[in-house]
Amino acid sequence: MENTIAAISTASGNAGIGIIRLSGKNCFDILDKIFIPKNKNKIKGYSIKYGNIINPENNEIIDEVLVSYFISPNSFTRENMCEINSHGGMTVERKILELCLKNGADLASPGEFTKRAFLNGRIDLSQAESIIDLINSKSDKEAKESIKGLKGEISEKIEEIEKKITDVMVNIEVIVDYPEYDVPEITNDEALKQLKNIEIMLENLEKSFERGKLIRDGIKTVIFGKPNAGKSSLLNAILNEDRAIVSEIEGTTRDTIEEFINIDGLSLKLIDTAGIRDTENKIEKIGVEKSKKLAKEADLIIAIFDLSRDFEEEDKQIIDIIKDKNAIIVLNKVDIKQENNNIEDKIKSLCKPIIKMSALKKDGLNDLYEKIIEIFKLNNIDNGNEVIITNERHKNQIRKAYQNIVNGEDAIKNNMPIDISSIYIKQALEDLGEITGKNASEDIINEIFKKFCLGK
Ligand code: GDP
């Protein structure tokens, strides 16, 4: 890249320090004009100098700073880079940025540093996308998956599949291009076997997206029960608990309350619903229908039953909805339990985890957390080293590649000329290449980097 770019890389607002970043061929020349270091020795990469930022027009001191130096190609962008650590706060940071721009730098667009890292070959596209995911992550688990992507694990997996596709294609193309050569011919059966293997790998990777979604978007958890069962009390009890870290992400909708919480690294999107009850009131009816729909779409239902009241028609409706879902049953109000109530008998046959608690007294919350962790950590999300797809664009490309491999198999099965199959297989390779960016179009690349924040 010919020009040198500059941006404020830290979040705006008052803070101890702020960082202004520069990248490009002329970044040290620009710095020379506005920075007077105490130590005048020749600069070295991975080193820091102390000094003053000055306005070269009148020598006014703007701030006392530390500057870190990175010499090409050993930097994030592979270009010459420096980071000016100034005092925080918008006035100082903006003044320094303005001086950089006045003295030869261009203002970086969002994600331009990372885009340069990609264009200069330091990271591939899926790694760049993992950086956005890491910056935006809402839970430990999501951050951990992003780090895996950043380290290149998704790319490695894609490349492994690409290699297998290339192998099949080479074998097929030899037949197409040089039928006269005496090369060991790949039989249709052998090609089909290899393609099936690739199909399964792609299918598994695509399936991992569903789990990835739980990591990225949070486990959609609906609190469900008849009116006065204690739904709001439970939500409040959870939100006031130390162990559940309530995040500040907004999500409150018109008629349901949504809150993000973190339990041992799992992100839960908690949704409190309107109570389930038979009603003639039109507006209330809409609310009830909406609750039922939410429950059906949920990853987890916390179904609350009121131990102080008898089992009623509404409770039966709740049982019908939760029976085929991931659900935890909460028997609430143990503190005022009625001796002869028949609820426990009715729910036993559901074979769902049951927790007795008092939402009011916050008794039993830990048991609830343990169950949630048990359901999601062990069985679904946390299976160690497996690559999980969390990015929707990647999933779509994998889906396309999968379809092309299936089409390639069908072509062989239907005894079509082998070059028809070869067209599909080649297309699958291109689909996967768009994930790592080997053959992503300019538009896709621009679209991806637009999602970055300024200064990254
Ligand atoms: P919702 O309509 O399902 O959201 O129910 P609320 O959370 O508003 O609770 C309804 C009533 O039951 C309130 O008066 C609560 O104080 C009370 N309540 C909720 N949980 C408990 C509990 O565990 N024990 C007792 N004794 N009362 C509770």
Asked if 298 contacts 292 with a C-beta cutoff of 8 angstroms, the reply is: no
| pLDDT of 380 above 70 | no
In this prediction, residue 418 has a pLDDT band, given cuts at 50, 70 and 90, of confident
Torsion of CA 7, 12, 18, 24, to 10 degrees: -10
Residue 234: what residue type?
L
Query: What six digits make up the tokens of 205?
Result: 């990777």
Strands 35-37 and 47-55: antiparallel
| Residue position matching structure tokens 């008052």 | 14
Q: CB within 6 Å of ligand 1 — which residues? A: 225, 227-233, 275, 332-333, 335-336, 358-360
What is the per-residue pLDDT for 259? 81
Query: What six digits make up the tokens of 425?
Result: 């297989």
Q: Give the whole-number percent of the chain exceeding pLDDT 70.
A: 88
Q: Average per-residue pLDDT in the chain?
A: 86
Q: How far apart are CA 141 and CA 150, in angstroms?
A: 14
Give the tens place of pLDDT for each residue, 111-129.
999 999 999 999 999 999 9
Q: Sketch out the chain's domains with CATH numbers.
A: 5-108 (3.30.1360.120), 128-214+391-449 (1.20.120.430), 220-380 (3.40.50.300)
**Angle CA 153–158–163, to nearest 5:** 125
What is the per-residue pLDDT for 72? 96
Distance 281 CA to ligand 1 centre (A): 23
Residue located nearest, by CA, to atom 17 of ligand 1: 230
In this prediction, residue 280 has a pLDDT band, given cuts at 50, 70 and 90, of low
Q: How far apart are CA 108 and CA 103, in angstroms?
A: 15
State which of 228, 236, 270 you would mutate to test the pocket of ligand 1, scoring each by most atoms of that ligand within 8 A of its C-beta: 228
Question: Is the whole model's pTM more than 0.85, yes or no?
Answer: no
What is the per-residue pLDDT for 383? 54
Distance 275 CA to ligand 1 centre (A): 12
Residue located nearest, by CA, to atom 19 of ligand 1: 230
Asked if 6 contacts 20 with a C-beta cutoff of 8 angstroms, the reply is: yes
Among candidates 58, 47, 82, 172, which has minimal Cα distance to 424?
Answer: 172
| pLDDT of 301 above 90 | yes
What is the per-residue pLDDT for 302? 94
What is the per-residue pLDDT for 254? 40
| pLDDT of 248 above 60 | no
Mean pLDDT computed over 380-406: 84
Give the tens place of pLDDT for each residue, 310-363.
888 888 888 888 988 899 999 999 998 777 678 888 888 888 999 999 998 999
Distance 360 CA to ligand 1 centre (A): 6
Distance 222 CA to ligand 1 centre (A): 17
DSSP E strands, 256-350? 257-263, 266-272, 300-306, 327-332
Asked if 357 contacts 368 with a C-beta cutoff of 8 angstroms, the reply is: yes
Dihedral over Cα of 322, 328, 333, 335: its sign: positive
Give the tens place of pLDDT for each residue, 147-187.
988 989 999 999 999 999 999 988 887 666 666 665 556 67
- Please state the atom number of ligand 1 nearest to the C-alpha of residue 236: 7
- End-to-end CA distance of the chain, in Å? 17
Among candidates 26, 214, 206, 38, which has minimal Cα distance to 105?
Answer: 26
Q: How far apart are CA 165 and CA 191, in angstroms?
A: 10
